[in-house]
Chain A
């Protein structure tokens, strides 16, 4: 009797265990997905897009939840815990140096950046890696372009993430104060650029250009960039050998000419007669010093831009030869157009003083503001304004007398200021683009210019985690997203649809073939069906043989 009881108990226990295993064990149903986004208040367009995308994914039988996270928390999760999330809204912003496609072509998808760098989605493709490395060595632009096209086609095929839009940014200025045709548009950047600031011509008594920023300026240091706005200032105070031109290509600037001698040698000739803001002449020794200064450990942020230099040789009074360690086609954009020229007579003692101390040039209590750029520093109050005077001795001296940036955190107030003349150039607008358009209609003196961004907004898929490691699944999720709906409903027509990491504004490098992305629910369902995914009871199931092994974060 006792034995029977034990046997029954054991049998029941085994049955119970089996039932539990059946209930908790792996199923074939695709798990619930979290789509992370910024909160609506922080980035309304992106949040709206996330909601629309979630709806479209649900049509494929997926269980999707949009989860807004504060920026820091989102960064912490996505950037620092790379295997713990499925999908997130993300953006890459445009900067003048991104006019060379290398930064996006290489760092977004090269496998060496998967662990710590920009390839946070974990896309690994040897074929792509090889092309990314190849384009860096192709000095022939036409050849390099072919490689860039091939890379865009691979990304189009694999859809490691779903591109959504290239936003359009609207900026404005007062055309009663400035001559309208002297404002310069820079490809992918817009009218807020150094070319405008040098060219813009005042019409009347107001000779000051007064621009706003809603961000505080962190630093004005030629060896340290603390925030986006900081670089607008350093751009104006310090010259570089080359500059990214309005067309997005690097062009000689402080260098009169730049020539490739062979694929590892570049010769430059410095412009004659340049002066520092303290009146001293700019010499080739200053140039050499400027490229040597970041090589040590005192300017970590700029160090990567000079690591490719093997040697520098002086040729006469104004010539300089750079010998590179590797063939590097991006050297012009990533080094010559990036390193700020600094006066040796001022910085040499500063850096000597820092030698042997733990501090770097980034922590200098008083930064010498002597550059050779078109504007010179007069006064800086980090939370209020920065004031620069025109440098009359510059080879392209500005037409405005002073360049003043006001820190205005209230977006509505910037429009009030524009109307009242407290600012006359809208360098940044945090509000709704439609409000700005309406404002300019009511105030005919205000001219609006908008430009498609080099940057883009996208949904990142975590390629490390199933089912996102399956091309078919990623393609289906990407193709079901209606980009036109994104543009009109989320971005209120202030954007264009995107399907490439090279913006169409970089027309030479952008591959028009990838623009023909055929989207739609039917198309997406067909891809899933062909890959063996099944729809049952309105829910999506893995192909036979595949099982869910992960849980929703």
Chain B
């Protein structure tokens, strides 16, 4: 329990640090949000009024404490441009990002783990000689390139998938759940997920493969062989279980990382997610929105980090035993 509290505190402190860095980073960047409002109708008084409205006329330390106080109450402020609460804007697109990320990760990791284990088993064969370079190539190829190739082949030419967006023009749903469970949404989701999964599968696959190769030489595997278990049982029950540990961590961290790293996929497929929102907010100096988006990503990352820690405690007795010892 102490360990859990300790890990939790670590993550909370990391979040506070992120919040602080974010706050000052945006304000120290060249340019102000006013630059995007250049308009001859906006005279000096109105510009001043606007600064006051945004609270940008106060000293920076004051702005910082106001920001922290608001944040503690779950208040992220109003977007400078959309003039709507940042929380509302983020929550509108968050489900799309979560679905895109989770489905890609699940596909990538299920495939990666199975294919990695299989490739380890096939070590030295021609399959390995073909598969490993292929995996490396998909991992090295830029996401936007994979995305554009898939779009061009499967959408523009074959016409099997839509070219962008999260649903067909003009379709209405009674709730977000109804929309996300609809065939139309899944149809729109397919290409972005495929692209992201193709990009992500390399890590679990290679990780699983190398862990398997290592584990296969461990004494307990030799022991299992000596006991006369079948090769399949050894791979699944003994080797794979142990080789999975680092992959589980990678998965948990992957959720956090790719949540904000989907900017490219979201742009290529016009997917309404948090990454696109973030890029746009940064480019127009919409501090509250950009900070909010970054913070949300950081929160997911910290949470998943915490989950990974917990998983480790559960899955690997050495972690908690080690501390006690």
Interface residues of A (CB under 8 A from B): 71-73, 75-76, 79-80, 103, 107, 113, 116-118, 208, 210, 216, 218-219, 221, 224, 226-227, 300-301, 304-305, 358, 360, 362-365, 379, 381-385, 387, 402, 404, 406-410, 412-413, 415-417, 419-420, 422-423
Contact = CB atoms under 8 A, between A and B. Distances in A.
A107 B31 contact: no
Interface string B35-69: 11011111110110110010000000000000000
A226 B92 CA distance: 19
Nearest to A106: B40
Contacts of B36: 72, 75
B162 A226 contact: no
B202 interface: no
10 contacts: A76-B31, A210-B169, A300-B46, A365-B85, A382-B82, A384-B167, A404-B169, A408-B270, A417-B164, A422-B164
Interface stretch (B215-223, B230-238, B275-283, B303-311): B275-283
A224 B50 CA distance: 13
A73 B93 CA distance: 29
Contacts of A407: 270, 272
Nearest to A225: B39
Interface stretch (B4-12, B121-129, B151-159, B251-259): B151-159
Nearest to B38: A79
Contacts of B44: 116
Contacts of A383: 92-93, 272, 276-277
Contact of A381 (B43, B92, B152, B276): B92
Nearest to A107: B40
B164 A408 contact: yes
Contacts of A221: 83
A416 B40 contact: no
A224 B89 contact: no
B301 interface: no
B165 A385 contact: yes
B249 interface: no
Contacts of B268: 410, 413
The size class of the interface chain B forms with chain A is 35 or more
Contact of B35 (A80, A107, A305, A423): A80
Given A80-B35, A420-B162, A409 B156 contact: no
Interface in B160-174: 162-170, 172
A172 to B, nearest CB: 16
B148 interface: yes
A409 B280 CA distance: 11
Given A113-B40, A409-B270, A410-B268, A76 B163 contact: no
Given A219-B82, A383-B277, A404-B169, A117 B40 contact: yes
Nearest to B170: A404
Nearest to B281: A216
A221 B82 CA distance: 10
A107 B43 CA distance: 12
Closest 3 CB pairs of A and B: A72-B31, A416-B163, A416-B156
B276 A208 contact: no
Nearest to B35: A75
Contacts of A118: 40
A422 B165 contact: yes
B133 interface: no
Interface string B10-44: 00000000000000000000111001101111111
